[in-house]
Amino acid sequence: MTNEELTNTITSWFPDVEFIEEGSQYLTLLVTKDKLMDVISKLKEDPSTHFDYMFCLTCVDWPEHFQMVYHLKSSDLDHMLVLKVNLEDKEKPEVETVCKLYATAELHEREVYDLFGVVFLNHPDLRRLLLTDDWEGYPLRKDYVDEINIVTL
């Protein structure tokens, strides 16, 4: 499906999702936190979209919110889509896990939890992945300070 067809299809399913037009080579979709599971499971299950391959899952620490970024692709239809979720609560970012839909998300979400401190609800095994269990802070956050290891120029 082309991006236009995708836009039309998705709008017909979820009239209130927001499309971000600029600044990305992929069709980008912004959904709210509580809509995420509905949207993503519909996108995966429906044969006309069939986004069954999540090739990237990450998070960006913007000054006013955390943004979860899900890169999706369909293995047989070959179209791509970026799904974004803004987590407004910077103190306690929480979002539902997608690892029931995409097995790869389990490790990727643990990594995001480890480096950003985003809590994934209902994740089967949410622990630190790369850092030691007693590490303080979340290094990829912009406000993370480490005077010894981070050299600022």
Partner 1 sequence: MEETIISPDGTQEYFINMGPQHPSTHGVLRLVLTLDGEIIEKVEPHLGYIHRSIEKMCEKDNYRQIIHLTDRMDYLSAHMNNHAVSLAIENALEVEIPDRAKYIRVIMDELTRISSHTLWWGVMGMDLGAITSFLYGFRDHEYITEIFEETCGARLTMNYNVPGGVMFDIHPNFVKHVKDFIADFKTKLPEYDTLLSGNVIFLERTKGIGILTKEDAISFGVTGPAGRASGFSNDVRKKEPYGIYDQLDFKEILYTDGDTYSRYKARIDEMWESIKIIEQLIDNIPEGDFQAKTRKVIKLPKGEFYQKVETARGELGVYIVSDGKMNPYRMKFRSPGFSNLSALDRMARGGKIADLVAIMSTLDLVVPDIDR
Residues of the shown chain interacting with partner 1 in the complex, contacts defined by CB under 8 A:
22-26, 52-56, 58, 60-61, 69, 71, 75, 78, 82, 102-104, 106-108, 111, 115, 128-132, 139-140, 150-153
Least CB distance from residue 58 to partner 1, whole Å?
4
Q: Is 7 helix (H, G, I), strand (E, B) or coil?
A: helix
Instruction: In the chain, count H helices and then E strands.
Output: 3, 7
Provide the 8-state DSSP code for 98.
-
In the complex, least distance from residue 61 CB atom to partner 1, rounded to whole angstroms: 7
CB of 20 to partner 1, least distance (A): 10
Q: What is the distance between the terminal CA atoms of the chain, rounded to a whole angstrom?
A: 46
How many whole angstroms from its chain centre is CA 124?
A: 17
Which lies closer to partner 1 via its Cβ, residue 44 or residue 95?
A: 44
Residue 103 per-residue DSSP state: T
Give Cα 146 to chain centroid, integer Å. Answer: 26
Nearer to partner 1, 8 or 122 (CB): 122
Q: CB-wise, 28 or 39, nearer to partner 1?
A: 28
